[in-house]
Structure 1
Amino acid sequence: MDALPACGVIGPGRLGRTLALALHERGCLRWLKGRSPGSAEWARRHGIPYVLEWQQLEPVEVVWLTVPDRALAELAGECARAGMPWIARSVVVHCAGAFGVEPLNACAEVGAETAVAHPFQTFPLPAQPQRLHCCPWSIEARTPKAARVLAELVRALEGIPVFVQRSPQQRALYHAAAVAASNLLVAVLKLAEELARGSGIPPTLFLEPIVRASVENYFAAVGAIPLTGPVVRADWETLRRHWEALPEPLRAPYRHALLLLAEVARSEGLLSEAQQRELHSLLGVV
């Protein structure tokens, strides 16, 4: 088996640590660059070479930029100005799903090949490299070489490379899908946890089984989505009791969640227009 391309990672955050560990396990990580003593200590504990200064970086074939979106263009500029002639022979890749290759233009101007490789996954701390297993990666590459190298690395990480060319609108919708599937879901779960706690039941014990079943049912469904409950049944009396029992701080998030549920039920033909208006009236929506 041929050796994997040598890699460096800049930015030891959630994704950066996960990616660094995964690449380190496969023997192709040469260094992790960061700025903080805490990240340096984390790298030392995991046997990962950690560098602070640009001049310490040894040449690699792939440079991964795993910093917050707002810092990408500035970091790319630093890479281009850092006096590393080998960067012109490298692939510089960022992992931000909200952007194309444009934030890396400074690197492209000094000869680097540029690309985007976004793992459609959420990453906790401490880092868990197994989160990359079976993970789809959305890849935008400017050149065949960059596409080939990234596909090789993603497959080595047991991920699934998916090559795309998107318009700015499509890219925004793609990122919004990730936000809905992860962040918004967490917000709904937090609402359920607060409601469960107020009812006097242990939230984790009661919520985890029903949440897992709901997600499994959704992906196993063929045809109509598996919606149940008082909104679909137009059971306004039950919903009125919910509303009256809700603490004031939870009313707004519960209202927003029910309105979204009603939109989905309406689009699926499970709720009539008149029933949707009744729900709006119950929730005080004009």
Structure 2
Amino acid sequence: MAVGVVGAGRVGPALAAALRLAGHRPVAVSGVSDASRRRAAELLPGVPVVGPDEVLARSELVLLTVPDDALPGLVAGLVTTGAVRPGQLVVHTSGRYGVSVLEPALAAGALPLALHPVMTFTGTAVDVQRLAGCSFGVTAPEELRLAAQALVIEMGGEPEWVAEEARPLYHAALAIGANHLVTLVNQAMELLRTSGVQAPDRMLGPLLGAALDNALRSGDAALTGPVARGDAGTVAAHVAELRRHAPRTVASYLAMARATADRALDHGLLTAGPAGDLLDVLGDGTHERGGGADGADSTGGPDEGDGGADGEDRA
């Protein structure tokens, strides 16, 4: 098929490049910024950069790869100008929306699909390789499920069917798992630099890789660290140091610690006694217990040593 891309952000050119490898023909791309034009030139060499209406005029399959908030207005505008043709496959890549956002295009005779690649994109050629084995959150009318599945597989991905009404929850889950992770990792690296660590990325890499692997394999049983141990003194020391050196991180630390404590309680990793002291600390983050701010009691905890000699639960 002739493939067009409306919105040469980080996602659209990579998907079109993957479709080119599968035998389709990227024929047009739209992009306004210099960065968009550079991405189009790198990932789709020789493909002309034209206006959105012209992209649709040249294409049998159109990828709408614009920010979520811009998508409804874009669809309505394209339909109003008569750019959408009957029988044209119109695909958006938003995680938030299903196919209902494409109803104006459906009314104009187009075939609507929601194909959301569950991947973080860089806007470079490496994205095309990363699509191999990547899950896609797919929402499609029943009669187009086979077409949606075929397109995802051609791009190297694996379709995962998501109901229309479940799209916002599905997307929130991915934001928590990926977008928030980037923030947490960068906070951790900044704090390590402040503490004098010269190579925080090298220090965190093996730890975070193991934590992710353990979480995916074992779920909440993978929880470790002072919150899961109920080590209120250590947590209080953390909060005191964060207030002193990085006050902007206190809110996220407390929020994640509370969430961790809830999960540890629900799964029997944290007992009621230690939990009471811990939740008292997490209530406002101002209490200090045991060894106080210097964390003198940080090696304690009711399950000390469960991690073995290598202290694997000290993260």
TM range (shorter): 0.7 to 0.9
2:182 matched to 1:190?
no
- Give distance in 2, aligned partners of 1:230 and 1:36: 47
Distance 1:233 1:84, change over 3 A: closer
TM-score of the two chains, using structure 2 as the length reference: 0.80
Aligned length: 277
Q: Is 2:5–2:65's contact at 8 Å kept on the other side of the alignment?
A: yes
- Give distance in 2, aligned partners of 1:276 and 1:48: 62
- Give distance in 2, aligned partners of 1:172 and 1:99: 7
Alignment partner, residue 298 of structure 2: none
- Partner of 2:221, secondary structure, is coil
Distance 1:157 1:253, change over 3 A: same
Stretch deviating more after TM superposition (72-81 or 6-15):
72-81
Name structure 2 gaps, 5 residues minimum.
Answer: 286-315
Cα drift, residue 82 of structure 1: 3.5
Task: Find 1:242's aligned residue among 234, 238, 257.
Answer: 238
Alignment of 1:1-286 (within 5 A): 5-28=1-24, 29-46=26-43, 47-53=45-51, 54-55=53-54, 57-84=56-83, 87-127=85-125, 128-144=127-143, 146-167=144-165, 170-201=166-197, 202-221=199-218, 225-246=221-242, 247=245, 248-285=247-284
For 1:108, give the aligned amino acid.
L
- Give distance in 1, aligned partners of 2:55 and 2:224: 59
Distance 1:126 1:79, change over 3 A: same
Distance 1:252 1:10, change over 3 A: same
TM-score of the two chains, using structure 1 as the length reference: 0.87
Cα drift, residue 275 of structure 1: 2.7
- Give distance in 2, aligned partners of 1:160 and 1:226: 27
Cα drift, residue 260 of structure 1: 1.6
Cα RMSD for the two superposed structures:
2.2
Distance 1:148 1:7, change over 3 A: farther
Cα drift, residue 245 of structure 1: 2.3
- Give distance in 2, aligned partners of 1:143 and 1:8: 24
Cα drift, residue 31 of structure 1: 1.9
Cα drift, residue 57 of structure 1: 4.9
- Give distance in 1, aligned partners of 2:38 and 2:248: 41
- Give distance in 1, aligned partners of 2:167 and 2:56: 32
Cα drift, residue 185 of structure 1: 1.4
Deviations 1:138-168 (A, max 9, x none): 2111252x3222211211111111234342x
- Give distance in 2, aligned partners of 1:165 and 1:237: 45
Cα drift, residue 282 of structure 1: 1.9
Distance 1:90 1:75, change over 3 A: same
For 1:32, give the aligned amino acid.
V
- Partner of 2:227, secondary structure, is coil
Q: Is 1:137–1:161's contact at 8 Å kept on the other side of the alignment?
A: yes
- Give distance in 2, aligned partners of 1:188 and 1:255: 13
- Give distance in 2, aligned partners of 1:233 and 1:110: 59
- Give distance in 1, aligned partners of 2:149 and 2:110: 18
Cα drift, residue 212 of structure 1: 0.5
- Give distance in 1, aligned partners of 2:42 and 2:121: 20
Identity of aligned residues (%): 34
Cα drift, residue 218 of structure 1: 1.6
Q: Is 2:86–2:110's contact at 8 Å kept on the other side of the alignment?
A: yes
Cα drift, residue 58 of structure 1: 4.6
Distance 1:198 1:36, change over 3 A: closer
